[in-house]
């Protein structure tokens, strides 16, 4: 395994009785990379995380985490990775500080690190508050703080901003980018395409248990930009969308020369459109 490849999934499949939940998944995660696993509910995102983190056994294929086959990992692997799911709970009757200090004891993390993480997630001022009294956004920040307390090499995030208000989601995005800067690798599952575009170095589009497409968000958007179009706003407030053709190029050129264009944008597809095009399916767009 390449030294900076922290995660390597090779031909992973998972069958639940009659249903095939994952089909021939192949993907790698490199050091300091954010990898997005995108797909609608039920596409196999959580199953993948559970297989990688040793909570579930694959039906076939090989999964290696930090150089070790997931079949051979034991509980000590959790000292090197952090896991956040949309259902990660907190001890509501404990204070924010106690919630972290208990896990600091488990991972032998010094007290100063607890303070550092609390400052990072902006919960230091709430450290004496019972965790059950935190808002949903603050709770999610506490969950994230707990997951990164022991400076894991890989952080698994299963729908980390699901159901959060936009400002909290933005603060979590900021924190994830900071963690990436520190060299942490992040495996992120989401059905929020905007989030994936903003955060991920590479994304894998998962549909019905299969990776339909994989690459950087920019690469994928350009790859599926088959009918090139341009969106223009003219000075007379008229909005036009023009396809790329010799006539339209001439028209745009003429408008430019006469300074009639207020703004111009290329219309490459969003990740959401790419997903629709690749799979022909909806992502549960209400959640996007």
Partner 1 sequence: MENINKLTAVAQIKWICISRNTAIMIGPILTVAMVWICKILYGINSGGDLSPMLVSLLLNLGISLNLCLDGFIMVGTAIAEEKEKHTLRVLMTSSITGMQYFIGSIIFPFVLMNIINIVVLLISGVSMSQVSVAAFLLVSAAASLISCVMGMIVGLCAKNQMNANLISYPLMFVFMMIPMFGNLSEKLHHISGFLFTGVLTEMAGGFAEGIPYTFKALDITVLIAELVISILVFLMLYRRNGYEKD
Note the residues at the interface with partner 1 (CB under 8 A): 50, 53, 55-56, 75-79, 83, 85, 87-94, 98, 102-103, 105-108, 146
**Which of 149/206 has CB closer to partner 1?**
149
Shortest Cβ 142–partner 1 spacing (Å): 11
What are the helix (H) ranges across the chain? 45-52, 96-107, 111-120, 136-148, 166-181, 193-199, 217-223, 246-257, 271-279
HEC profile of 15-61: EECCEEEEEEEEEEEECCCEEEEECCCCCCHHHHHHHHCCCCCCCEE
Shortest Cβ 4–partner 1 spacing (Å): 24
**Which of 15/229 has CB closer to partner 1?**
15
Shortest Cβ 264–partner 1 spacing (Å): 49
Backbone angles phi, psi at 39, to 5 degrees: 170, 165
Other beta carbons within 10 angstroms of residue 3's beta carbon come to 8
Shortest Cβ 224–partner 1 spacing (Å): 36
**Which of 7/205 has CB closer to partner 1?**
7
Beta carbons of 109 and 60 less than 8 angstroms apart: no
DSSP state of 268: P
**Which of 79/243 has CB closer to partner 1?**
79
**Which of 138/279 has CB closer to partner 1?**
138
**Which of 77/203 has CB closer to partner 1?**
77
Shortest Cβ 282–partner 1 spacing (Å): 27
Enter the tokens of residue 40: 């609608």
Shortest Cβ 102–partner 1 spacing (Å): 5
Q: Is 58 left (phi over 0), alpha (psi -120 to 50) or beta?
A: beta
**Which of 146/180 has CB closer to partner 1?**
146
* DSSP, residue by residue, 176-205: HHHHHHTT-EEEEEES-HHHHHHH-SEEEE
Shortest Cβ 126–partner 1 spacing (Å): 18
CA distance 251 to 161: 44
């Amino acid at each position: 395994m390449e030294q900076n490849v922290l995660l390597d999934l090779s031909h992973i499949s998972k069958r639940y009785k009659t249903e095939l939940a994952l089909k021939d998944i192949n993907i790698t995660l490199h050091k300091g990379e954010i990898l997005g696993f995108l797909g609608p509910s039920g596409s196999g995102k959580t199953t993948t995380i559970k297989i990688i983190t040793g909570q579930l056994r694959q039906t076939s294929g090989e999964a290696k985490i930090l150089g070790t086959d997931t079949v051979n990992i034991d509980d000590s692997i959790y000292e090197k990775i952090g896991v956040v799911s949309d259902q990660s709970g907190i001890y509501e009757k404990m204070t924010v500080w106690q919630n972290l200090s208990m896990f600091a004891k488990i991972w032998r993390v010094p007290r100063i690190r607890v303070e550092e993480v609390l400052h990072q997630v902006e919960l230091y001022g709430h450290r004496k508050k019972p965790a059950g009294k935190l808002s949903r956004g603050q709770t999610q920040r506490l969950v994230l703080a707990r997951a990164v307390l022991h400076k894991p090499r890989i952080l698994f995030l299963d729908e980390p901003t699901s159901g959060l208000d936009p400002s909290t989601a933005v603060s979590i995005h900021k924190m994830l980018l900071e963690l990436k800067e520190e060299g942490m690798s992040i495996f992120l599952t989401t059905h929020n395409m905007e989030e994936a575009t903003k955060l991920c170095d590479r994304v894998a589009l998962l549909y019905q248990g299969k990776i339909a497409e994989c690459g950087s968000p920019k690469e994928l958007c350009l790859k599926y930009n088959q009918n090139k179009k341009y969106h223009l706003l003219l000075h007379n407030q008229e909005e036009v969308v023009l396809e790329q053709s010799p006539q339209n190029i001439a028209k745009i050129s003429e408008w430019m020369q006469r300074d009639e264009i207020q703004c111009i944008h290329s219309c490459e597809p969003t990740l959401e459109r790419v997903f629709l095009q690749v799979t022909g399916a909806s992502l549960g767009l209400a959640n996007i």
